Every structure is written in C-alpha cells, then in structure tokens.
Amino acid sequence: MLNTKFTPQTWPEHPEQATHEGKNKYVGIWIFICSDIVLFASLFATYISLRNKGPAGMQFTSQELFELPLAFVMTMFLLTSSLTSVYAMYHLKNYNFKGVQLWTGVTVLLGLGFLALEIYEFYHYVHIGFGYTQSAFSSAFFTLVGTHGLHVIIGLVWMICLIVRNASRGLNLYNAPKYFVASIYWHFIDVVWVFIFTVVYLMGVLG
Amino acid sequence: MSHDTEIQGRSQSQYEFDRRKSAVQMRKQVINFAIMIFLTFVAFATVVADFAPTFIKPVILLLAGIQVVLQLYSFMHMDDKHAPFIGVISTFVWVGAVIAFTFFLAFNTIIWW
C-alpha cells in the first residue's frame, strides 16, 4: 500500500492525510509546533526584559547595533522560501514529483542564503566585541536569534535528507506526508522570524 | 498500518475539477504571499519613515499579527476543515499563543521590572 505506484488520476486529493501514518504525522508536527511556540515565547519574553541591559558603561545598544537593510534582506529570503515551499506542496497534490523536488530544492537554497547572512551577522557582532557573554542583552539576543537559526539548520538538513533519500523512489503515500510535514515546519520557522524581525530588529532600532 | 486506507481512482471529470481547484488555491496562496510581502514593506517603511515610536510599535506588532495569522491559516493549512484533529490543533495553537502572552506579561512585570 505505502509503495503503491500511482498515476495523477488515482493519486488522492489529500495524499498527506490518506494513510493512518500520514494523519499521525500531521497531528504530531502540530503538537511539536505548539511546544515550540512556548519555547520561543520564553526566549522572546527574556529578550524583551533584558534588551539593552548589561554592565555599567556598556557601549552597545540595540539602536546602534542592528542594521535594517540586512534584516530586510533576510526577511525576504525566508518569506520567499515559504512561498516556494507552498509550490512544492502544490506539485505534491498534483503528483508531480519533479516539481516537488525542484521547489523543495529552491526552498533549501533560499534557506541557505538566509543562514549565510545570519552567520555573517553573528560573526560581525562577535568581531566588534558583542559576544555571547558580553552582557545580559547579548546573551538574550544570541539565545533567541540563535535558537531560531538552529531551527533553520535542522529544517535544511531535514529537507536535504528528503530530497536525497527519495530521489530514486518517486512519490508515494509513504513519503508524501514526510514532505508535507517538513513544509509545515518550514512555515513555522517563518512565523517565528516575523516576530523576530518585528520585536528584535524593528523595535530595536526604535529604542 | 495502512489497512484502513482505501484508494479509489477519480473519474476524469472529478480529476479535472480537483486539478482546477488546486490551481485556484495556488493562486490564492500567491495573493496571500503578496499581502505578506506588502505588510513586511509597510512595517519596515513605518520604522524608516521615523514616526513617533508610540505610534509605530503597536502598528508593526499588529502587522506581524496579521502576517502570522495569514501564514497559519493559508500556508500551514489551519483552514483545512477536514484535516485530522484540526479542532485540537487550533485549540493547542491558540492556547500556546495565550501562554506566550503570559510569559511576556510575567517576565516584564513580575520577574524584572
């Protein structure tokens, strides 16, 4: 059953929900996401409380530290990767395996672009003396944004594994839910980033 | 594991109808994406335009809220009424949001002040 070969016509309309296993995965990823919401909530609350707080005479403030153009480009990368992931799910529905692989691949590339910019940003901050242990502000900042970056890395490894492992398998009801769940996870990463660019970067520049 | 699954081929007309339906859905997703990009532009623009912070802060938080709800209900398919346990999922997500707000409130009023 899980290895049945399909044609576009026999392919179910909701392939991710067609099997019992697929339904379990669907609910499972959401339960994970709900617990992740709470994790990020605690990190956001900590960051908001500790923003600009540190040893007396600390020369770093969020107003001077953050660069809006960089944050804007990173936002565009991640937001666009969300759309390409939707395209992958569109092709999943239409039983077009090449489309799924291609658009998941584009999503990975955009995610890598985002990650490269984030690594550059962190490297720059550490280089000018704003390291993890520099202040309560820096610890809270790196923990919050770094945890998000870790989620991005996990998402990228996940999608690369899917692309490579299923390359010769083709689409079936065994791997359709896997692609779908990875896509939901990727959108969630974007959801968290929306709050990061608003709360950390935009409100940080405002002071 | 999968004995409860029944696969039935769709009739030609049903198949064409489903194809069209998912194409229409995809167009809607692209429109949603355009709205999200627009909201992001507006958020960055209000900050760059240098309005009063007391005005900007609630506005950009509201824009972020709208964008996240769009993500959840369109890209993440929380509007799919037939998804398994979608009621439980929605409840969990919104309770998660309430807990998130409680964190924010507690950390900023009780723990540090």
Tell me which chain A residues have a C-beta less than 8 angstroms from the C-beta of B44. 68, 72, 202
Parent domain of B39: 1-79
B7 has pLDDT over 70: no
**Among the partner residues A68, A90, A187, nearest to B48 by beta-carbon distance:** A68
**CA angle, corner A113, sides to A186 and A121, nearest 5?**
105
Percent helix, percent strand, percent coil in chain B, to nearest 5: 75, 0, 25
Q: Residue A33 half-sphere exposure, CB side, CA atoms within 13 Å?
A: 29
Tell me which residues of chain A have a pLDDT lower than 70.
Answer: 1
Contact A27 B75 (CB under 8 A): no
Number of domains in chain B: 2
Parent domain of A92: 16-51+60-206
Residues 124-153 of A with CB under 8 A from B: none
pLDDT, residue B1, reads 46
One domain, residues B71 and B95: no
Contact A173 B12 (CB under 8 A): no
One domain, residues B64 and B93: no
B5 has pLDDT over 70: no
Q: Which residue of chain A comes nearest to B23, CA vs CA?
A: A90
One domain, residues B98 and B46: no
pLDDT, residue B9, reads 72
Q: Which residue of chain A comes nearest to B60, CA vs CA?
A: A198
pLDDT, residue A152, reads 98
Tens digit of pLDDT for each residue in A123-169? 999 999 999 999 999 999 999 999 999 999 999 999 999 999 999 99
Question: Which contacts of A36-39 are long-range, i.e. CB under 8 A and separated by 24 or more positions?
Answer: A36/A151, A36/A188, A36/A192, A37/B93, A37/B96, A37/B97, A37/B99, A37/B100, A38/B96, A38/B99, A38/B100, A38/B103, A39/A147
**Interface with chain B: mutation pick from A3, A21, A35, A37, highest number of B CBs within 10 Å:** A37
Number of domains in chain A: 1
One domain, residues B58 and B101: no
Tens digit of pLDDT for each residue in B15-28? 899 899 999 999 99
ipTM of the complex: 0.89
pLDDT, residue B113, reads 59
Tell me which chain A residues have a C-beta less than 8 angstroms from the C-beta of B100. 37-38, 40-41, 44
As a whole number, the mean pLDDT across chain B is 89
Within-domain flag for A8: no
Within-domain flag for A5: no
pLDDT, residue A5, reads 83
Cβ neighbours of B83 (radius 10 Å): 19
Within-domain flag for A115: yes
One domain, residues B91 and B69: no
Whether the CB-CB separation of A75 and A197 falls below 8 Å is answered with yes
CATH number at residue A168: 1.20.120.80
B3 has pLDDT over 60: no
